[in-house]
Amino acid sequence: MHMHHRRQHDTEGRLVHALHASDPEDQGLDTVVVALAGQPNVGKSTIFNVLTGLTQHVGNWPGKTVEQKTGHHLHQDHDLLFVDLPGTYSLSANSVEERIARDYIIKESPDVVVAVVDTAIPERSLYLLAELLLLPAPVVLVMNMMDVAEQEGILIETKVLQAALGIPVVPMVATRNEGVERMLDAIMSIVDGTFAYEPRRPTILATHQEVLAGLTALVTDYVPEPYPVPWVALKLLEGDEEIHGVVEELVPENVRQEIRAILYKHEDAVLDVAGARYAWIGRMVRAAVVRPKVGQVGLTSRLDAVLTHPFWGTLALLAVLAGVFFLTYTVAGPVQGWLVDLLAQFAGGAVGRLSALGSPAWLSDLVADGLIGGVGTVVTFMPILAIFFATLGFLEDTGYLARAAYVTDRFMHMMGLHGKSFLPLLLGFGCNVPAVLGARIIESPRARLLTILLAPLVPCAAQLAVVTILAAALFGSAAGVVVWSLVALNLVALAALGVVLNRFVLKGEPAVFIMELPLYHLPNLRSIGLYVWQNILAFLQKAGSVILVASLVVWFLSYFPAAGDISQSYLARLGRAIEPLGQLMGLPWPVLVALLTSFVAKENTIATFGVLYGDFVAVLPTVLSGPGALALLVFQMLFVPCLATVAVMKQESGSWKWTAIGVGLLLVLSLVAGIAVYQIGSLL
C-alpha cells in the first residue's frame, strides 16, 4: 500500500489555505494528507496544535460557517498536512459537522485518517471508528488521555486492541506531548506499507445481508465516483436521509420504486446495522479494556446491590424514611416551640397596641385569631419543613432518592399496578396536581384513569407537613413512628385500592421504561441549601395567599353572627350538623371543621386550629383521646384531595362521574379508616 504522493491541495477550492513562504510543500517535499477525526472534547485540537504550531491556517469549510483548520508538520523528510475535521459523534447526516467530515473523507480521500478517542470513555468514541472503517481511507486509532483513564483505574491493552482491530493503535497523552511521535510513525507505517493494514470491520446480521446485497445491486450503476457503492447501500439501509435524497435523484423511476419498497419493508434495519456496530464495540472493549474493580462505580454497584434489592431495598427505604422523620422532630421540634412562644408574645403585643389605639374588638380579634392565629401558626412550622426538606435534599443529592423511586416502582409491580403509573404517582409526593396532570403520559385511557384516581393517595408535601406538625403536638416523642406508619398506611391503601381497581378497571400491562440511576456521590451543601430555600419560599408564598384567605374566611365564620361567641357562630352551626359523624371518630366539631377546611388547601387544618384553638399544640391533647388523636391523623391522610387536585381530576378525566367516584372513594375510605381506628382503639 504505497500511496505516498505529491498533491496540490488548493485546487477546486476544497482546501483553501494561504501557504506560508516557509511551508514544506514549497520546499519540494512529498505531502501526506492526514485527517484528524474524533468526537468533541477528546483532545483533537491539542494534538493538532502540538503538531502544526505556527503553520496553521484557519478558514471555513467551503460554503459552510464551520471552521476549517489545516497545518503542516515535518516528519522524517515528509510533509504531513493535517486537516482538523469537525468534532462528530458518528458519520450520519445528522449535523453539518458530520456531513462535512464524511464528505471530506470520501471526496478528498486523505492518505490516512487519525481517529482520536477519549480513553477514559472508549465506548463513546468507538462508534465513530466503526463508521470510519467503512470508508476507503486507512485509519490510525489514537487512544488519547491515557493519564485520565489511568486515574479512573481504566487500563487499555493497546496491543490487544491493535490485534483485535487490525489497525495501528497508539496510546497518547497529548497534553504532555507523549505518544505524538509514535502516532507519526504509525501514520508513516500505513503510508509506506510496512504495517499490515487489515481492519476488522463490523458486519451486519445475516438477516439483512441479503437486503443489503439487493440494494447494492440496484444502485451500483448509478453511484458516482468517488462514493463507495457498499457504503452508499449501507447508508440507504440505515435510513440516511441525505444519501437517500442523492440516490433518488440519480436512479430511474423503476429503481427508485424498488428501493422505496425495500426500505419501507425494512424500516427498522437501522436497529440491526447500528446494533451490530455496538456489538462490535462491546467485543473490542471486552478484549482490551480492564475496568476498575473498586472506586466510584464499584461503590455504586455495591450499594445498589442492597439499596435496590426487592427486600433489603424496601427495608432500607423504610429505615431512611423513619430516619428523616426522627431527625425532623428531634432537631426542629424545640425550635418550633420557641417560635410559638414568640408568636404568642407578638400577638399579645399587637392586640395591646390595637386596644390602646381604640380599635374595635372585632379588629383585635381578627388580627390575633384570624391573621396571627391562622397564617402565623402555619409559619411557625417553618423549622420543621426546613429540616424535612434538608434531609430530602441530602438524600436527593447523594443519588439515593432515585433508588427510592426504583424500589417504590418494584413494590407497585408486586401489587399488580401499571408500571408507567409510577411516574406521575412519584410526582404526587411533591404535589397531587402535577401527579394527576402527569397521568397524560399514559397512553391507555383506562390506565390513565386509574392513575388519576390513585394519585390523591400519595401524601403530598403539604399533607406530610400537616401530619408532621399534628403528630408532634399529639404524640410527642413517638411522632416519628406515627408519621412513618401513616405514610406506610397511605401507600398500602394506594396499593390495595390499585389492586382492586386494576382488577375491575384495567388489565395489567407491562412496564415500558428504563431508568438511568445516577452514581452515588458526596452531597453539595450549596445545592441542598438552594433546595431548602426554594421549598420554604414556595411554602411562604402559599401561606401569604391561599392560607391567608382561608384563615380569614374561617375567622369570619367563627366570629359572626354572635360577635365572637364561637359556640353561636356559623361555623359552630355547621360543625354541630356534622358532629355525629365526628363522634364516631372521637372528634369534637372544631376538629372536624378544621379537617373540612383542608379541602381548600391541606395546610388549612393547621391554620384553622390556630384560629379556633389558639395554641392548639397545648389544647389538642386535652380535647382528644389517644384513639381520637390517631383517628384524626388517619382521617387527614386519607381524606379527599384539595380543591386544586379535584379540579384537575375533572379536567384530565373529562368526567364528573369519575371525579365524583374518585373523591367519594377517598371520603368513604377516610371515614371508614377513621371510625375503625377510633372504635378499635377505644376497645383496647
Partner 1 sequence: MLKRILSMMATGEVQTQVELATELDVPEPLLSQMVAQLASQGYLTQAVMGADGCDGCALHMQCNPDRRLRIWTLTEKGQRAAS
User: Which of 405/501 has CB closer to partner 1?
Assistant: 405
Closest distance to partner 1 from the beta carbon of 420 (Å):
7
Distance CA 547, CA 265 (A): 61
User: Which of 225/267 has CB closer to partner 1?
Assistant: 267
Identify the helix (H) or strand (E) that includes residue 128: helix 122-132
Is 428 in a helix, a strand, or coil? coil
User: Which positions ≥6 away from 401 have C-beta within 8 Å?
Assistant: 392, 395
User: Which of 272/369 has CB closer to partner 1?
Assistant: 272
Closest distance to partner 1 from the beta carbon of 436 (Å):
8
User: Which of 49/95 has CB closer to partner 1?
Assistant: 95
Of the candidates 509, 631, 645, 642, the one whose C-alpha atom is nearest the C-alpha of residue 582 is 631
User: Which positions ≥6 away from 164 have C-beta within 8 Å?
Assistant: 200, 283, 284, 287, 288
Residue pair 574/599 in contact (Cβ under 8 Å)? The answer is no
Q: What 3 state SS string does 523-539 have? A: CCHHHHHHHHHHHHHHH
Closest distance to partner 1 from the beta carbon of 539 (Å):
8
Closest distance to partner 1 from the beta carbon of 527 (Å):
10
User: Which of 239/614 has CB closer to partner 1?
Assistant: 239
User: Which of 177/545 has CB closer to partner 1?
Assistant: 545
> Which is it for the CA torsion 233, 239, 241, 244, positive or negative?
positive
Closest distance to partner 1 from the beta carbon of 499 (Å):
17
Closest distance to partner 1 from the beta carbon of 282 (Å):
5
Residue pair 375/543 in contact (Cβ under 8 Å)? The answer is yes
Distance CA 364, CA 148 (A): 70
User: Which of 190/307 has CB closer to partner 1?
Assistant: 307
User: Which of 502/569 has CB closer to partner 1?
Assistant: 502
User: Which of 361/537 has CB closer to partner 1?
Assistant: 537
Residue pair 281/289 in contact (Cβ under 8 Å)? The answer is no
Phi-psi group of 399: left, alpha or beta (phi > 0 → left; psi -120 to 50 → alpha; rest → beta): left
Closest distance to partner 1 from the beta carbon of 461 (Å):
5
Distance CA 158, CA 153 (A): 15
Distance CA 562, CA 570 (A): 9
Residue 591 is placed in which grid cell? 376538629
Residues that bind partner 1 (CB under 8 A): 94, 121, 123-124, 127, 239, 268, 270-272, 274-276, 278-279, 281-282, 285-286, 289, 291, 297, 301, 304, 308, 396, 399, 401-402, 404-406, 409-410, 413, 419-420, 423-424, 426-427, 429-431, 433-434, 437-438, 440-441, 461-462, 510-518, 531, 534-535, 537-538, 541-542, 545, 648
Closest distance to partner 1 from the beta carbon of 413 (Å):
8
Q: Residue 220 gets which letter from DSSP?
A: T
User: Which of 441/500 has CB closer to partner 1?
Assistant: 441
Identify the helix (H) or strand (E) that includes residue 140: strand 139-144
> Which is it for the CA torsion 20, 22, 26, 31, positive or negative?
negative
Any alpha helices (H) in 140-240, and if so which ranges?
146-151, 158-165, 180-191, 206-219, 229-238
Distance CA 599, CA 399 (A): 34
Identify the helix (H) or strand (E) that includes residue 81: strand 78-84
Of the candidates 411, 420, 397, 395, the one whose C-alpha atom is nearest the C-alpha of residue 308 is 411
Of the candidates 56, 51, 73, the one whose C-alpha atom is nearest the C-alpha of residue 17 is 56
Q: Residue 168 gets which letter from DSSP?
A: -
Of the candidates 420, 419, 381, the one whose C-alpha atom is nearest the C-alpha of residue 536 is 381
User: Which of 41/545 has CB closer to partner 1?
Assistant: 545
User: Which of 240/369 has CB closer to partner 1?
Assistant: 240
User: Which of 388/639 has CB closer to partner 1?
Assistant: 388
Distance CA 434, CA 1 (A): 65
Of the candidates 130, 433, 140, 153, the one whose C-alpha atom is nearest the C-alpha of residue 294 is 153
Closest distance to partner 1 from the beta carbon of 89 (Å):
9
Radius of gyration in angstroms for the set of CA atoms belonging to the chain, rounded to a whole number: 36
Identify the helix (H) or strand (E) that includes residue 412: helix 400-414
User: Which of 112/243 has CB closer to partner 1?
Assistant: 243
User: Which positions ≥6 away from 104 have C-beta within 8 Å?
Assistant: 35, 83, 85, 110
Closest distance to partner 1 from the beta carbon of 524 (Å):
12
Any alpha helices (H) in 251-311, and if so which ranges?
253-265, 269-288, 296-307
Closest distance to partner 1 from the beta carbon of 615 (Å):
28
User: Which of 315/423 has CB closer to partner 1?
Assistant: 423
Question: Which residues share a beta bridge with 180?
Answer: none
Closest distance to partner 1 from the beta carbon of 300 (Å):
9
Closest distance to partner 1 from the beta carbon of 507 (Å):
14
Distance CA 53, CA 177 (A): 13
User: Which of 376/438 has CB closer to partner 1?
Assistant: 438
Identify the helix (H) or strand (E) that includes residue 474: helix 461-475
Closest distance to partner 1 from the beta carbon of 204 (Å):
12
Residue pair 107/30 in contact (Cβ under 8 Å)? The answer is no
Is 196 in a helix, a strand, or coil? coil
Distance CA 201, CA 595 (A): 70
Closest distance to partner 1 from the beta carbon of 395 (Å):
9
Closest distance to partner 1 from the beta carbon of 644 (Å):
9
User: Which of 381/559 has CB closer to partner 1?
Assistant: 381
Closest distance to partner 1 from the beta carbon of 115 (Å):
16
